[in-house]
Structure 1
């Protein structure tokens, strides 16, 4: 039923707005000392602010620009402090500590308000770590099966005014659970997904974006449209290899608890061939 109700309104989609590939946003950045400036287009917005997964990915790129890109990202903590508008914004980067194997970096997202006063829009902590040999045997989790394969899963259409602008950049297919605002009985969602244009973007940044792309499963409980906003996000990443650039990743999300308008979500992101790429936790404010 949930699948049919979404498909029924798919013809409401108007012509997609012009979109800017992620690689173009990255190429246009400007670095000066400890600050990196970005300008993002309207197609990457989520309501009145920038899509959080993109904000985190751009901030990680700024961390690399200032502190080095030689070690993979192991963990990322993001606090979404305030909205980021379409105006240019800066990411100020500071190295907190670098040891032999681990580098800890702080990034502060800054943007001038209407009065020209610089405001803090986000604070991120990144942990980069080089690989080390270990006598402990490798442990890699196995991807659990889902009810619906990618080839037959229902696609989430872009519906102007209902689905966020940034979803134009994604191929979303529901494998389990219910779409938002359908009054479904599940507190979980499983999506097959990929970026439609990821050329020139490395797997680490793609993983950050995809891990934040799905709406909280709590929204499937709502019967009418209601906004939601991430408050904080803790993400842990696993280095992955040989990722098919055209393949569909999988995002498994569960709302662990919900009360007083806040959802506590857990997510696992898997590569097209079933490698665990990332897992994390979010606190999401739901206005329903």
Structure 2
């Protein structure tokens, strides 16, 4: 059996993407520290489904040093892919992945921790 690869979605420039705001009692509390910009796919709780969504994110305030905890926060920030299928807020786990951080990893400076896709 052969499964054909799909091409990656094209992300619009960050300046053209609408902000995905922190919403108290709906979005996770820690996400208020991360600026997110929506580029493609349907928004969470839109009831429109789909299997692609993505955009840009960065910390609202760049950390002096970029730790493993910062990497984990960014990995856990983006909404889970099932949310665009739903028509209203529900509890949903964002943890359905495994993450390996190899050490030593390259040092990242505040200028490097800009936008992450």
With the shorter chain as reference, the TM-score category is: 0.7 to 0.9
Gaps of 5+ in 1: 1-143, 251-288
Shift, 1:230, TM fit: 4.3
Instruction: Give the superposed CA RMSD.
Output: 2.4
What's 2:68 paired with? 204
Q: Does 1:247 align with 2:114?
A: yes
Specify which of 86, 97, 104 is matched with residue 222 of structure 1.
Answer: 86
Contact 1:158 1:168 in 2 (8 A): yes
Name 2:56's counterpart in structure 1: 192
Q: Report the Cα distance in structure 2 between the residues aligned to 1:229 and 1:181, rounded to whole angstroms.
A: 14
Structure 2: 5+ residue runs without aligned partners? 1-7
Alignment of 1:44-193 (within 5 A): 146-193=10-57
Work out which of the two has the higher radius of gyration on C-alpha atoms and give 1 or 2.
Answer: 1
Cα distance in 1 between the residues matched to 2:112 and 2:53? 23
Separation in 2 of the partners of 1:248 and 1:230?
A: 21
What's the offset of the Cα at 1:229?
A: 2.0
Once the two structures are superposed, what CA deviation does each residue of 1:229-282 show, in whole Å capped at 9, x if it has no partner?
2455411336345552462111xxxxxxxxxxxxxxxxxxxxxxxxxxxxxxxx
Asked whether the 8 Å contact 2:42–2:84 carries over to 1, the reply is: yes
- Bigger relative CO (Cα 8 Å, ≥ 6 apart): 2
Any conservation in 2 of the 1:146–1:190 contact (CA below 8 Å)?
no
TM-score (norm 1): 0.33
Distance 2:26 2:59 in 1: 20
Q: Would the alpha carbon gap of residues 200 and 213 (structure 1) be closer, same or farther in structure 2, given more than 3 Å must change?
A: same
CA change 1:145–1:216 in 2 (3 A) is closer
Distance 1:186 1:147 in 2: 16
The separation in 2 between residues aligned to 1:157 and 1:201, in whole angstroms, is 25
Q: Provide the rounded CA distance (Å) in 1 between the counterparts of 2:53 and 2:28.
A: 18
SS at match of 2:83: helix
Q: CA deviation at 1:161?
A: 2.3
Assess if the C-alpha contact under 8 Å between 2:20 and 2:36 holds in 1.
Answer: yes
2-structure distance, mates of 1:225, 1:145: 26
